[in-house]
Amino acid sequence: MPWLLGCVVALALAAVLTPVVRTVAARVGALDRPEDRRVHHKPTATAGGLAIFVAFWIAVAVVGGLANHTATGILLGSIFLAGLCLIDDIYRLSPAPRFVGHIVVAMITWQWGVRVAGVTNPLVLFGGSDYLALGLWSAPLTVVWIVFMINAINWIDGLDGLAAGVSALAAGTLAVMAISVGMSQVGILGAALAGACLGFLPYNFNPASIFMGDTGAMFLGYVLACLSVTGAFKSTAILAVFVPILVLGIPIYDTLSTTFGRIKNGKPIYNADRSHLHHRLLARGFSQTQTVLLIYGLTAILCGVALGLWLR
């Protein structure tokens, strides 16, 4: 079972590499310092996403998961994304060039065959074809989905352990779905991503000794978007168009509600504030740990419903 081996290797590597990255980050001054919008109260090592990134790709390579055109495309896109995040960390890019960079990452990935070529027709019961080929719409829809998820996971990375735990649940669910229909390559990638998140989580859960940073959060969002594109979205199951949206429902809801809230209040979309779901729960009196566990629970419920629909 290469997917299980990939999960175990990624978990072990992340568990070993994370304290190494934490030590190096502290020595070079790569620290996330408290500010008004943050909920932590002391400088904390960041760049933990590098441990997730390296653990994931080494695990995938160990189990032969790179011997695939699709995986190569995801690897190239993730390298470009990591480079963009590094440049942003050094020069503090404004939202516009970052957004353009995300589009370039998505286009590279699309060019390598990671794309939404078509979707099942949810209205097939009322007649017509059961599959809708997207044609020229494939590129823009794939780009929108990947860019959206890159930012969605990055936006929920506001509390200790939140992004890592939600991503582990989503990746594990997508892996099970893929394996159940014989998509072994997607299963390996999903299992390895879940393992890397779980290996990182003990150091990132409240009180966190290291943060994943944009490098980690954006990488997780990117790979999750690619997994859904190459897995669930490609299935001919009639509910395939809805299942990935359920699995990734919490970050999708958070991004949409926050975006529309900022537009409603006349604020720029990319202006950081305390309007995210986790901030709203904190404002209602939940502790940081309670908020994270509540969102874990909601994510697990949505993933369970998605799995039930998928396997029925």
Residues 6+ away with beta carbon under 8 Å from 239: 120, 122, 309, 310
What whole-number distance in Å separates Cα of residue 37 and Cα of residue 49? 21
Place of tokens 């998605």: 306
Note the pLDDT of residue 122: 58
Please write down the long-range contacts of 38-41, taking CB distance under 8 Å and 24 or more positions apart.
39/158, 39/159, 39/282, 39/288, 40/160, 40/208
Domain boundaries, the chain: 2-311
Place of tokens 């509910």: 239
Give the residue from 239, 255, 247 showing the smallest Cα distance to 149.
255
Note the pLDDT of residue 37: 54
What whole-number distance in Å separates Cα of residue 234 and Cα of residue 115? 9
Note the pLDDT of residue 99: 94
Note the pLDDT of residue 230: 84
Helices of type H across the chain = 2-28, 49-62, 69-91, 95-111, 138-156, 162-180, 184-204, 213-230, 243-247, 249-264, 277-283, 288-311
Distances (CA, A) of 96 to 135, 171, 298: 28, 29, 33
Tens of each residue's pLDDT in the chain, 312 residues: 899 999 999 999 999 999 999 999 888 877 777 665 555 557 888 889 999 999 999 999 999 888 788 899 999 999 999 999 888 877 788 889 999 999 999 999 999 988 877 666 655 544 455 666 677 888 999 999 999 999 999 999 999 999 999 999 999 999 999 998 888 889 999 999 999 999 999 999 999 999 999 999 999 999 999 998 886 656 545 566 678 899 999 999 999 999 998 988 888 888 778 889 999 999 999 999 999 999 999 999 999 999 998 887
Note the pLDDT of residue 136: 84
Note the pLDDT of residue 107: 95
